[in-house]
Amino acid sequence: MASFLLMLALVNVNAQRIVERYAFQGTLDGKTAVRLAWEVNADGVAAGHIYYPNAKNPAPIMIIGSKRSDHYFILNEYQNDGEITGYLAFTINNGKLSGEWNNPRTEKELHFTNMRSMAFPKGYGGLLVPENPGNLGHYYCYQEYHTGMKELMGGNVKLIAAGKNRVHFEVSNVFGNIAEGKSEKGRPAVLKGNKFTYNHVNECDYGFKATFFTKFTVLESTTGYETRSCFGANIAFDAVYIKVKD
């Protein structure tokens, strides 16, 4: 029985493809207590939770982003409705975490201080479990405060089942400019595991990849900058979208 359980554990770890795991606790600007723990998969996607133990109603909040280099991480703090309520950018060197947390609405910057490694807390991981193709959500979104427009802007992904391992999609990403597109009639996206790649979205020949996890999806452009000319400047589908409707 023990060997069987070990085998199941190894299968689960391989399915999540977790290659790194971190947990730290300390303060923001030496005042606000904070804990954060996250995992990184083989594709460099990073996800976990941040926790403010002295908040009025403390609860772990999702943080999702990526590992940008050997030591540098960029993650956003997401509420369950997809709103981004914090930007995190930090480095880890010699086991020490240093960097900043920013408030999207006020642009106030707080520094991580006195951060020390801790045991990985129960319930802070598990966000990088690949989604079963049969359990994809119908609607994913994110919202980000645009300081110039003084309102929440963002994007959404709508999915409609089109047969086994096949879905039609509509994507709209609006942050200053607009990137919109959908699958062609009779040409749905074909899932391979928890991913699909879709090319020739529009006359500019734009293409992208979608990777689905149980609580979010990551969209990434797969074609060059010149294929974005059908969209507004400096915009594409690229973003993390939170599952808000099964």
Q: Which residue has the higher pLDDT, 246 or 195?
A: 195
- Look at residue 233 in the predicted model and tell me its pLDDT: 80
3-state DSSP: the chain helix, strand, coil percent, rounded to 5? 10, 55, 40
Contact (Cβ atoms closer than 8 angstroms) between residue 7 and residue 13 = no
Residue type, 209: K
Q: Are strands 239-245 and 139-146 parallel, antiparallel or unpaired?
A: antiparallel
Rounded CA separation 121/63 (Å) = 15
**Per residue in 175-232, pLDDT tens?**
778 999 999 999 999 999 999 999 999 999 999 999 999 999 999 999 999 999 999 8
* pLDDT recorded at residue 203: 94
* Per-residue pLDDT tens digits for 124-150: 999 999 999 999 999 999 999 988 878
From start to end of 178-238, where are the E strands?
178-182, 189-190, 195-198, 208-212, 216-221
Q: Which of 233, 215, 217 minimizes the C-alpha distance to 225?
A: 233
Of 31-45, 109-123, 143-157, give the lowest mean pLDDT range: 143-157
Distances (CA, A) of 91 to 100, 107, 116, 153, 182: 9, 20, 13, 28, 37
Q: Give Cβ neighbours of residue 170 (< 8 Å, ≥ 6 apart).
A: 157, 158, 180, 181, 182, 183
The per-residue pLDDT for 16 is 57
| 83-118 residue pLDDT tens | 999 999 999 999 999 999 999 999 999 999 999 999
Q: Is the pTM of this model over 0.95?
A: no
Query: Which pLDDT belongs to residue 121?
Result: 96
**pLDDT above 80 for 242:** yes
How far apart, in whole angstroms, are the C-alpha atoms of residue 105 and residue 83? 11
Amino acid at 210: A
